[in-house]
Amino acid sequence: MKKYTLMFVIILLSCSEPNQELPKILIIGDSISGGYFPFVEEILKGKAKVFQPNFIDENGKTKGCCGGTTQGIKEIDFFLHNKKWDIIHFNFGLHDIKHIDPVTGKNSKNLNHPHQASPEEYERNLILIIKKLKLTGAKLIFATTTPYPDKLGKQMRSPGMPKIYNQVALRIMNKYQIKINDLYNLVLPRLSELQKPNNVHFKEKGSEFLANQVVKSIIESL
């Protein structure tokens, strides 16, 4: 298993010292959020300071901000970085859905292998994360997990799972009265246009499309 060094990558909205009066926005998510983050940063320039934690591997390359909820529980304090946040926009799900080899613990193409976190485990983990986020006093926004084609180039996820995991997440968010940013249903009708072929990731215009919705949800909460 590869070892990763945690590093809090702070991407400021200007080259100068940040204006302390601007609201602080924390975006927690996987590589999907990594795709739309630069657009969110640019759109909110001068209106808010946007931050995102990332993993830096042993080669110095930036990986997705975070993995599934199992990792999220372990690293949530690092993600929060002991700062005062005005808004936390977060998502977990796409990594939880992955199938994992029960022997090696690595990603598996065998769809009979267990998920990184079953829907039941996902629910328990998500509740623990939410309780920690609630303690910050920040306004919380949960982004639903985005869909992907039934056939993927690296088939590590079963078809239709985002809908199942989102149902779990939505039930929890409603219970804890957390605002929902429904990226799943937003992008679903235009998936073939906005997403890379046979891939969970989005084209540049797809990431920009998602970013506009993320910004909208943030501005509505300011």
H or E segment to which residue 28 belongs? strand 24-28
pTM reported for the whole predicted model: 0.88
Quote the mean pLDDT of the chain.
Answer: 88
Give the C-alpha separation, 83 to 194, whole Å: 35
pLDDT of residue 196: 96
Question: Per-residue pLDDT averaged across 74-92, rounded?
Answer: 93
Sign of the C-alpha dihedral computed for residues 55, 58, 60 and 61 taken in this order: negative
Give the C-alpha separation, 80 to 28, whole Å: 9
| CATH number of the domain bearing residue 103 | 3.40.50.1110
Domain span at residue 106 reads 4-221
pLDDT of residue 21: 86
Higher pLDDT, 60 or 14: 60
Give the C-alpha separation, 203 to 177, whole Å: 32
pLDDT at 169 over 60: yes
Question: Per-residue pLDDT averaged across 163-192, rounded?
Answer: 98
How many folded domains does the chain comprise?
1
pLDDT confidence bin for 110, thresholds 50/70/90:
very high
pLDDT at 7 over 50: no
pLDDT of residue 82: 85
